[in-house]
Structure 1
Amino acid sequence: MKFTHIITLSTAAMFFLASCEMKNELTGSLTDKADTGALELGVSVKQPVSQTRADASDIDTNTFPITVKGTSAEVDTIVRNYNTLAEMPASITVPVGTYNVSSHTPGTLEKQMTAPYYSGDTEVTVTKDITSSVNVVCRMANSRIQLNYGEDFKKAFSEWIITIDDGSEMALSYTQENLNPEAVYWYFGDNVTAIKVNITAKTTAGNTVTQSQTFRKADASENYEEVGDNFTGGDALQINMGTVESATGTVTGITINTHITFEDESESVEIPTTGDDDKDEPEEPTPDPGEGAVTLDLPADVTYSISEGTAPSSADAYIASEAGLDKIVVTITAGNDAFQAILVDLTMDGQSFLAENGGVDLIDNADFGNLVSTVGSTAPKDGDTSYKFPIGAFFTFLNMTGATDPGKQHEFHITVTDKNGETANGVFKVTINE
């Protein structure tokens, strides 16, 4: 489809939607005014207990948008949206019925944010000639994660890659480039009961220590009847990194000390970690796996809907080799004809993503660097020991081409080769529904 046709169709769609909204508004105005009541709306925020006594910034709920949506049959076509609480009238008149009133922090809740995001909703029944007061209580929807490095850790290691993975399409990543990372506000979504911490670190003596440990909310040293096993909004996690040394002073491992503060509690409690590397006695490190080890940590395969707007904000592959990266070759198999047409014409420094053409080597690839600059990234350089490949930079192309064909996915095949000739490979798949 030509772009001019796409623009024409998009414009027509906008006018159609605007007409539908006007029709709904007119329909609402024809409702029998004798069968109406009034709503007086307010918004408040319930902060986690641990934030109410220290360093919690003031929250101006007057900036929160408000939505009033009919939920009972007689009013289910009525939706009233207000840009901010401050802009809406002191009271609004609506037909009798049941409504859901919702509000939230301005903007959209993202997987990773730099500040808390609050949201809430409540049900109210409007009766004839009665004014009902409604207060929407917004609770914190995301959770605070703070990673701290002990002085022993910073002294012992010269390089590291740490990922904090909740099993979703995106993981937090930390390296030695930021020794004092800021707190991250993370949206866990539903049914996250465990978090995995993966570490690859190079000691100042040249040895590499790897570790993978998991912690679960249910294992917290103290728990409460009202606290479930899932990580939820309002929880605050503090993850402290330290070292394990042998009797001779050699670094043999990494300690991960994790504490959680529940939303309605003021004191933090410890969460023990478990993993394959838990040992009764520390062991001397094996020789530097930089002499042959390649790491390729892919995000979980993704399925999302364009119409529902559920596309992930990002999807990152974590690549590392202490020997230095020599090649990162990517080939793409299209899940529909429209994306296949794009791939036929899409080249990166003269290389094609099509498998029959050999794929694209991302190392020092200027065109690829321009592509991922849109998401704040760069192309990997020859000899780099680590790289975060932002596969999500391709989602713009994928969304343009619509749903994948039944039984098909967009497949990103990645092969990593280091300076020692060691390789790792994997496939990341994306399924898109309308």
Structure 2
Amino acid sequence: MKFTHIITLSTAAMFFLASCEMKNELTGSLTDKADTGALELGVSVKQPVSQTRADASDIDTNTFPITVKGTSAGVDTIVRNYNTLAEMPASITVPVGTYNVSSHTPGTLEKQMTAPYYSGDTEVTVTKDITSSVNVVCRMANSRIQLNYGEDFKKAFSEWTITIDDGSEMALPYTQENLNPEAVYWYFGDNVTAIKVNITAKTTAGNTVIQSQTFRKADASENYEEVGDNFTGGDALQINMGTVESATGTVTGITIKTHITFEDESESVEIPIGPTPPIPGPGEDTLMVTCIGKVNSDATSESNIFETGVNYSMAAGNWPTTDVLISTPAGLKSLKVTIIGGNNGFQGIATDMNFNNHEMIGSSLGDMLGSLGVSLPMPEEGMTSYTFPVGQFYAMMNIYGPTKNGQETDGTYGEDYHEFLITVEDKDGNVVGPLSLKVTINE
């Protein structure tokens, strides 16, 4: 009887010890199988130098989430997540090894935001029986962009569309609907070395201006050894739109002045640009990559055909002379043309000649078009000016009759005009287009 009692106590002790070991494994507590150490975690924010210190009081790092992830062998599967810094314990116990500790502003980093987004991470090695203090420093992941309009710009133009494009899936748009835009916080991502400011604007006199200007961080008038060529979080860009006036007060050009303040600097520096293209008058050549159409009907009138289009009657015989004037001081790199027919006959010709984003530089179409009565001198790479004579196509268009609206039997081409889409690029990487020229032909 006494022997039986001893066996029962030993069995109970074994079950008790096994139960304790299982509990320790489930709760992540100390076990005899792993050496451990402790972590004490904190989070701080490093703002760009140019921002006021008063802003720091508005950032409550206690609301920042914390993630602790093992990165060395044996602890790479251990992850601790805390919804906020305030919710996590004063210290946590983990097996010895190397860990990555990360934190960020609550929420998800978006491409475009109304406020700064801070994030950061750090590596830490946990040693047996040692408590390691870790401070995760979070820096701005996005950049501040501020667009300003000068009073002269607002008086000179009645409407406009401006985009700031970093080559990603979306661009930042501005129009005359908001004359005092708020600062935008923009996430550039990786390897963005340049932004492009594209403008399509109409003057109060009715002229249309199309301009594209590229700004590269590496071109900043001041640079620092620690500052790379990529736009990064914490950079601040200020883009000011203005005009150039003649002595008589006539608006002759647009100015785009861009300044950048680097994250660790207090003063802004200019990112200079080349010559500013003048605002075009009717039929004038312009600098940069600006295309202007000219219509001379009986040599009496001129207008911006990208805005008005071309409309003429075959019976009346008032076929216009239409030229697209292209000026590229940096040298022409690419001229691509797409033709969409307003009836099946002319569309067939456009298809046969492969006028679908067709590269005109180096094209062999010149001789073929010449045999059809279209005199089209082909552009050459490096040209600083070129005239694309759209009017040369009119005789061929007339062979196939007027443009029609939905009258084709197969319904393939339902528009009531022929359309030319023109895209120009210069050797500085500036691009204009596709510009749409619509030609309507009546009986």
Q: Is the 8 A contact 1:252 1:285 kept in 2?
A: no
Q: Is the 8 A contact 1:104 1:118 kept in 2?
A: yes
The letter of the residue matching 1:186 is: W
Taking a change above 3 Å as real, the CA distance of residues 416 and 239 of structure 1, as seen in their structure-2 partners, is: closer
Q: Identity rate of aligned residues, in percent?
A: 88
Shift of 1:221: 0.8
Q: What CA deviation, in whole Å up to 9, does each residue of 1:274-316 have, x standing for no partner?
A: 4xx745x7764644341239xxxxxxxxxxxxxxxxxxxxxxx
1:216 aligns with 2:216: yes
Q: Is the 8 A contact 1:35 1:128 kept in 2?
A: yes
Structure 2 counterpart of 1:5: none
Worse-matched range after superposition: 178-187 or 249-258: 249-258
Structure 2 counterpart of 1:133: 133
Q: Is the 8 A contact 1:209 1:252 kept in 2?
A: no
Distance in 2 separating the partners of 1:201 and 1:148:
16
Q: What CA deviation, in whole Å up to 9, does each residue of 1:239-273 have, x standing for no partner?
A: 00001234443323210011010101111111112
Matched residue SS, 1:152: helix
1:186 aligns with 2:203: no
Shift of 1:358: 7.1
Taking a change above 3 Å as real, the CA distance of residues 199 and 193 of structure 1, as seen in their structure-2 partners, is: same
1:149 aligns with 2:166: no
Q: Is the 8 A contact 2:251 2:279 kept in 1?
A: no
Structure 2 counterpart of 1:109: 109
1:64 aligns with 2:81: no
Shift of 1:103: 0.2
The letter of the residue matching 1:128 is: K
Shift of 1:108: 0.5
The letter of the residue matching 2:209 is: V
Shift of 1:219: 0.8
Distance in 2 separating the partners of 1:116 and 1:137:
15
Q: CA RMSD in A?
A: 3.0
Shift of 1:113: 0.4
Distance in 1 separating the partners of 2:269 and 2:172:
22
Distance in 1 separating the partners of 2:170 and 2:73:
40
Q: What CA deviation, in whole Å up to 9, does each residue of 1:166-195 have, x standing for no partner?
A: 111111000000000000000001111111
Distance in 2 separating the partners of 1:282 and 1:158:
14
Unaligned 5+ runs, structure 1:
1-24, 294-355, 362-414, 423-434
Matched residue SS, 1:153: helix
Q: What CA deviation, in whole Å up to 9, does each residue of 1:330-349 have, x standing for no partner?
A: xxxxxxxxxxxxxxxxxxxx
Matched residue SS, 1:51: coil
1:36 aligns with 2:17: no
Matched residue SS, 2:152: helix
1:290 aligns with 2:284: no
Matches within 5 A, 1:232-247: 232-247=232-247
The letter of the residue matching 1:292 is: G
Structure 1 counterpart of 2:173: 173
Distance in 1 separating the partners of 2:210 and 2:250:
15
Q: What CA deviation, in whole Å up to 9, does each residue of 1:69-90 have, x standing for no partner?
A: 0000110010000000000000
Distance in 2 separating the partners of 1:216 and 1:416:
25
Q: Is the 8 A contact 1:159 1:176 kept in 2?
A: yes
Matched residue SS, 1:49: coil
Distance in 2 separating the partners of 1:57 and 1:176:
35
1:73 aligns with 2:70: no
Q: Is the 8 A contact 2:254 2:276 kept in 1?
A: no
Distance in 1 separating the partners of 2:412 and 2:132:
67
The letter of the residue matching 1:243 is: T
Distance in 2 separating the partners of 1:421 and 1:189:
45
Matched residue SS, 2:86: coil
Taking a change above 3 Å as real, the CA distance of residues 359 and 167 of structure 1, as seen in their structure-2 partners, is: farther
Distance in 2 separating the partners of 1:169 and 1:58:
32
Taking a change above 3 Å as real, the CA distance of residues 228 and 360 of structure 1, as seen in their structure-2 partners, is: farther
Structure 1 counterpart of 2:259: 259
Matched residue SS, 1:155: helix
The letter of the residue matching 2:106 is: P
Shift of 1:211: 1.2
Matched residue SS, 2:109: coil
Taking a change above 3 Å as real, the CA distance of residues 117 and 222 of structure 1, as seen in their structure-2 partners, is: same
Shift of 1:55: 5.5
Matched residue SS, 2:154: helix
Distance in 1 separating the partners of 2:411 and 2:32:
68
Shift of 1:106: 0.4
Distance in 2 separating the partners of 1:186 and 1:357:
45
1:202 aligns with 2:219: no
Taking a change above 3 Å as real, the CA distance of residues 95 and 416 of structure 1, as seen in their structure-2 partners, is: same
TM-score (ref. length: structure 1): 0.60
Structure 2 counterpart of 1:347: none
Distance in 1 separating the partners of 2:123 and 2:413:
54
Taking a change above 3 Å as real, the CA distance of residues 192 and 109 of structure 1, as seen in their structure-2 partners, is: same
Count of aligned positions: 280
Q: Is the 8 A contact 1:33 1:95 kept in 2?
A: no
Taking a change above 3 Å as real, the CA distance of residues 258 and 107 of structure 1, as seen in their structure-2 partners, is: same
Matched residue SS, 1:62: helix
Distance in 1 separating the partners of 2:229 and 2:31:
47
Distance in 2 separating the partners of 1:245 and 1:78:
66
Q: Is the 8 A contact 1:66 1:85 kept in 2?
A: yes
Distance in 2 separating the partners of 1:55 and 1:34:
45
The letter of the residue matching 2:165 is: D
Unaligned 5+ runs, structure 2:
1-24, 284-302, 311-409, 416-433
Distance in 1 separating the partners of 2:282 and 2:54:
42
Q: Is the 8 A contact 1:28 1:78 kept in 2?
A: no
Distance in 2 separating the partners of 1:92 and 1:128:
13
Distance in 2 separating the partners of 1:84 and 1:359:
60
Q: What CA deviation, in whole Å up to 9, does each residue of 1:350-406 have, x standing for no partner?
A: xxxxxx997999xxxxxxxxxxxxxxxxxxxxxxxxxxxxxxxxxxxxxxxxxxxxx
